[in-house]
Structure 1
Amino acid sequence: MKIVVWNLKGGQGKTVLSVAMAMLTDMYVVTNDVHSPIDEVLGEDKALRLGMRDKLPEVPDSVNLIYDFGGYPDARIIEAAKQADCIFIPIIYESPLEMQVTINAIAEIEKYNSNIVIVLNKAKAGDYERAKEVFAQFDYEYPLMEVKKSTVFSRSIEKKKSLQELVDENPLFSFHYSKPLEQVRALLKLIS
């Protein structure tokens, strides 16, 4: 399985989502983001950071892979989108106007792959309904999945442990971290 995680808008939680999914599934990650901590968190044996001139690696279909692209235009995104089984477009709801960049990203990427899932990242109460209203104005019927705001994601990166490992290691973490874990698992189940 190949997944693209991308949005033209920076700061939407693309890398955090990619890391969470990779650690839960043992998937490999390829990034074009020179500032991404992915190879430090996952290790060089599970992550590849591309230079500006590097081509996408040729990866056998049997290898499960996440393409984690930075929030800027890159021609390699088109190539990856054509190969991908699914495109995850993470957003953090701020306002309808702030979502315009995401609307533009969807309009661009759906030309190459319409198997899109919009991921409402760091969701707070009411964000899901507000985001759904904005997407309805554009007649988008792509699935909108929610991942609540939680400290589990930064803790996972800091400790270099999956969400599941954090839940398993401490009963107190289990109480607070089970919901985000379920939500990331639901994303993966949706496309499996």
Structure 2
Amino acid sequence: MTCDELRPDSDEDYSIGSARLILRSLRRSDAAELARQAGDRRIAEMTGRIPHPYTLAHAHGFIADQDGEFVLAMTQKGEGRLIGVCGLKSRAEGKAFEIGYWVGREHWGKGFATEAAQVLIDVAFRQPGIECVHASCRVINRASRRVLEKCGFQMRRMGTMDSVYAGRVSTEDFHLDRRAWMALKAWGGR
């Protein structure tokens, strides 16, 4: 399963909702808000791929080039304004996805990352042949670790990643397999 297979066949926007969020396709009109939110140094230092400073040109490039990834804007229901970004990336010859997310600083601590991650995890495991979802976070990013734990992920190992902003950094690598996801769904945990 590739991320391109998750996209709709037409040019229309993809969207999926949760209790408080609409996750939808990124639009060119999101560029200014994306640049403003991703331009916060605290976002860049916790992610692997966001440079700092993050410019409007970076935002336009990111929106235009989603090859191989399934990336969505996080918006609050009824508002439509981008509050963060989340997505899936194909791994392990199409048998797994890697999940990623970030939320703009003014929306931290409201549970939006957890809610968005739960939606994407469900999308991932509804695809045939997907065995697990992977994630990683910087060791110093307690909030992201907590999101993953609340979603049922288990830490597998310590690792490293190359961060555009911070260079080589220590990470915790997490894993959620289909069986654990199904058990969580059956128990009503999500």
Q: TM-score range by the shorter chain?
A: 0.3 to 0.5
Between 1 and 2, higher relative CO (CA 8 Å, sep ≥ 6) is seen in: 1
Between structures 1 and 2, the one with greater strand share: 2
Q: TM-score, normalised by structure 1?
A: 0.35
Q: TM-score, normalised by structure 2?
A: 0.35
